[in-house]
Amino acid sequence: MKYLADTAPILTLLICSSVLAATPTVVGSPATATQSHQHHADHQMQFDASGMVMNSNSTELPRGCTAISRDYTFEISAGTKFAARYPGTTYAMSEHEYTVDPCSRVTVTFINTDEVRHQWMVHGLPRYLYPQGMFHLEAAGGATQTGTFIVPSDDRTYLVHCDITQHMEKGMKGQLVVGSGSGDLWAVPGISGAFNNDDYPVTYGFLVLALAVTGGMLSTLWLLWR
């Protein structure tokens, strides 16, 4: 199992599959290509040296939605400079939690302030609408990408991360809370704690613990011999 399966969203995320590497047939110019996918939705895929927008969808409603409930616009910046707020991280985002209404349309503008690639990747979306269950923005160093997707009707918390190796582990993890959500994910900077913690040093630890033991012993003796 890839991630600690503790909360419902993680379990459901495990069901979704497949890769970018297993690419469907694509026709068109390098600037913009339409995936010849058997399902509807405007699965526009943009891909060039500035990055990629995958599975953008601004019109097709997920099952259980009768209309777009609301429009949201998020401007999310990412890079090393945002990591300063969370000690022990290297990469972070301007926001790590995005709360939206069920059946709403979410437009994300993802601004990369670093000189290396970053990603804003949502997992666990319905696969009949989003191939591989993903909505994916990838911005090359210094680039900005914008994409739109429509969230399903049920209350759930979705994983948002950067899948470049160690970027999620070192801070680039967020959660998309639809409705009231389904519980926090682990290790989201500013939101939730880690399951595996490092062994941080404890100042004067030995002395403090020795005093604590002695104190406990002396007070018990005093109580019993009084």
Partner 1 sequence: MSRRGWIGSIALVSALVCYPADWYPNSWRITIAHWLGPAGYRPLPPAVVISPDATATGAEAAEPACPPDPAAWREAKEIEGVAIRRSPNCVADDPFAVAAFVRGTNNVSLQTLLKSGLTPDAVVKGRDLDGDGDPDEIHIRLEVVELNGGSPEAQLPVTQFAIAPGITPGFWVFAPKTTGMATENFESNNARAILRLPSPAIRVEQGDRVQITLENAHYLPHTIHFHGVDHPFLDANGEGNDGVPITSENPVLPGRARTYEMQPRQPGTMFYHCHVQPHVHVMMGLQGMFIVEENRPDNWVQTLNIGAGHVRAPSVASRESFDREYDLHYLDIDLELNQLIQQHNDPRVINEWLHQRYNVTQATADMFTLNGRSFPYTFRESLIITRPDERIKLRIANGGMNPVALHTHGHKTTITHYDGVEAQPAARITRDVVWIATAQRLDLELETTNDGLHSYGSGVWLLHDHQGRGITNDGIGPGGNVSAIVYEEYLGEDGWPKTFGMKWNRFFDERYYRGAMSVFEDERFAPVESDGWRLLRLVGLFVALGVIAGIALSMLRQRLKTNR
**Contact residues: partner 1, CB under 8 A:** 2-4, 13-14, 16-23, 25-30, 33, 47-49, 51-52, 79-80, 87-91, 114-117, 121, 123, 132-134, 136, 138, 140-141, 163-167, 169-170, 186-187, 194-200
Structure-token match 């950067």, residue found:
162
- Whichever of 103 and 185 has its CB closer to partner 1, that residue is 185
Considering the complex, what minimum distance in angstroms separates the CB of residue 134 from partner 1? 8
Report the nearest approach of partner 1 to the CB of residue 20 (Å): 3
Q: How far is the CB of 129 from partner 1 (least distance, A)?
A: 16
Q: Are 104 and 61 in contact (CB under 8 A)?
A: no
Q: Tell me the two tokens of residue 154.
A: 């049920």
| Nearest to partner 1 of 6, 214 (CB atom) | 6
Residue with tokens 């959660």: 175
Question: Whose CA is closest to 150, among 51, 53, 61?
Answer: 61
For residues 199 and 224, which CB has a smaller minimum distance to partner 1 in the complex? 199
Residues 6+ apart with CB under 8 A from 100: 70, 72, 106, 151, 176, 177, 178
Q: Which is nearer to partner 1, 115 or 155 (CB)?
A: 115
Please say whether the beta carbons of 105 and 150 come within 8 A.
yes
